Chain A
Amino acid sequence: MPKLIRPTVFATLLAVFALLAWGVLRGSSNVASPLEGKPATDFELQTFDGRRVALSDLRGRPVVLNFFASWCLACRDEAAVLEEGWRTYGPRGAVFVGVAVSDDPEDSLAFIRRYGKTYLLGPDAKGSIGLDYGLFGVPETVFISPDGQVLHKAIGPVSREQLTSWLEPYVS
């Protein structure tokens, strides 16, 4: 029995460390969200250019829903990727929606102009869209399938590769 103690302690500590290492190294840009596979909550957005958009009106088209803020450094990094994605996949049926979170509208508009964003962009005026999509911070991006299911959620800046892999199966 005593002979088993040392290997048991060693194996336990090794298992604990392996668990810690896995938690540290697995990366955080693609985490499982309880929303994945569930119907996307409907929302209405008043865009900065005065249009009114409801998610339910976009049924039948894949939707990239991005949360951003002008004060967020990582949002600046991903701005070009999103605009490029919109220009590539917009003509093929995809919809890109940008929701400004906890941001002054003037700053949001300056940010939009600076990075040449042209897709649907508006403020989360009541703060409820962010909460409904389990927002931890910005940027975060949710991919909603044409039938209104949340398929993916990226925490942190979304990459070209992610947009491609999400959208290709659903665009013409």
Chain B
Amino acid sequence: MAGALRLLRPLRKSALAIVLGATAAIGMVAMITTAGAVGAQEHGQPGTNPAPANGAGGADRPEALGAASVPGVSGASPTTLDPAEERRAQALEGRLKCPVCRTQSVRESTSFMALEMRAKVRERIAAGDTDEEVLQFFVDRYGDYILLEPRKEGFGLVAYVLPFLAVLSGGVLLVLRVRRARVTRGGPPGGSRAWPGRGDDPAIPDPAALEPAAGERLERELKRYSV
């Protein structure tokens, strides 16, 4: 058992890296696929549902679920904004996440919820809300999740700080690795002593005491490293 472990020792680092890498990859894939499955099956997300009987198509084809055929959308009368307010509305829609498709902004998405959110953004702007008030309206109902960019406060700070911490940790790790490699190549730590020569180190056997082939090989290796 101990012998087998010794044989596997050089493989430990790479095996650990492979296992961790595979685990992380599986975790990522599982997270992505499960999120999709949850949305599609458990939550009845329109994209995977059959087309409505009126032939409008699923809500992942909201151009088909256009205002004329969707009561929820058609009921919301379009709010007319001046050009400056329109620019504000579009900018705000770009900062809100579509709750149905989740990977798109409300501005990009054509899902039924995005259409209703766009109508609500315009309604709030026309009512005189500031940008923050419009965003807060959605945060109050959906949580910070609805914001495409986390806020730079509280837990949202993690998203901004973590990348820098990761780079810093990577840098420290790199420096330590490089220093260790230089020490190994340049001689023993401290540099005051020479590497042990043959006869000094009990771990180096006398080549003459070995089988001829093994002895020759050991001799070659010792010469290669000037021992």
In the assembled complex, A123 has its CB within 8 A of some CB on chain B: yes
Q: Which of B3-55 contact A (CB under 8 A)?
A: 16, 20, 23-24, 27-28, 30-31, 34, 38-39, 41-46, 48-54
Q: How far is the CA of A155 from the CA of B100 in the complex (A)?
A: 12
B173 contacts across to A, CB distance below 8 A: 5, 9
Q: Is B212 an interface residue (CB 8 A)?
A: no
Mark contacts of A126-144 with chain B using CB atoms, 8 A cut-off: 1 yes-contact digit, 0 otherwise. 1110111111111110000
| A131 in contact with B117 (CB, 8 Å) | yes
Q: Mark A97-126, 1 if CB is under 8 A from B, else 0.
A: 000111111110010000000000001111
B89-144 interface with A by 8 A CB criterion: 99-100, 112-113, 115-117, 119-120, 139-143
Q: With A and B bound together, what is the CA distance between A110 and B53 in angstroms?
A: 10
Contact A126 B53 (CB under 8 A): no
Partner of A70, one of B31, B52, B72, B120: B52
Residue of A whose beta carbon sits closest to that of B42: A156
**A44 vs B48: C-alpha distance when bound (angstroms):** 31
- Of the stretches B63-71, B80-88, B149-157, B199-207, the one at the interface is B63-71
The answer on a CB contact under 8 Å between B73 and A102 is: yes
- Does B197 count as interface, using CB distance less than 8 angstroms? no
**What A residues does B140 contact at CB under 8 A?**
34
Who on chain B is nearest to A108 by CB?
Answer: B71
Cα A130 to Cα B3 in complex, Å, equals 66
Given contacts A13-B20, A17-B24, A127-B119, contact A104 B71 (CB under 8 A): yes
**Count of chain A residues near B, Cβ 8 A:** 54
Query: Which residues of chain A come closer than 8 Å to B20, judged between CB atoms?
Result: 10, 13
Least Cβ–Cβ distance between B219 and chain A, in angstroms: 33
Beyond A34-B139, A34-B141, whether A74 also contacts B42 by CB under 8 A is yes
Cβ B116 vs Cβ A127 within 8 A: yes
Q: Which residues in A have their C-beta under 8 angstroms from that of B168?
A: none
Taking CB atoms, residues of chain B closer than 8 Å to A123 are 71-72, 75
Q: A130 to chain B: which residues have CB within 8 Å? A: 72, 113, 116
Comparing A22-30, A86-94, A160-168, the segment that makes contact with chain B is A22-30
Bound-state CA distance A23–B111 (Å) is: 25
**For residue B112, which residues in chain A have a CB less than 8 angstroms away from its CB?**
101-102
Contact assessment for B100 and A21 in the assembled complex, using a CB-CB cutoff below 8 Å: no
B59 at interface, CB cutoff 8 A:
yes
Contacts A/B (CB < 8 Å), 25 sampled: A5-B173, A9-B173, A10-B20, A13-B23, A20-B30, A20-B31, A34-B139, A35-B141, A70-B52, A73-B50, A74-B44, A101-B72, A103-B71, A124-B71, A127-B76, A134-B142, A134-B143, A135-B99, A135-B113, A136-B43, A137-B113, A138-B46, A139-B43, A155-B43, A156-B42
Could you tell me which B residues sit within 8 Å of A by CB distance? 16, 20, 23-24, 27-28, 30-31, 34, 38-39, 41-46, 48-54, 56, 58-59, 65, 69-73, 75-76, 99-100, 112-113, 115-117, 119-120, 139-143, 173, 176, 180
| Known contacts A28-B38, A71-B46, A71-B59; 13 further A-B pairs (Cβ under 8 A) | A16-B24, A17-B24, A28-B43, A34-B140, A69-B44, A69-B52, A71-B50, A75-B44, A106-B54, A127-B119, A138-B46, A156-B43, A157-B42
Across the A-B interface, the 5 shortest Cβ-Cβ residue pairs: A74-B44, A127-B116, A134-B141, A102-B112, A71-B52
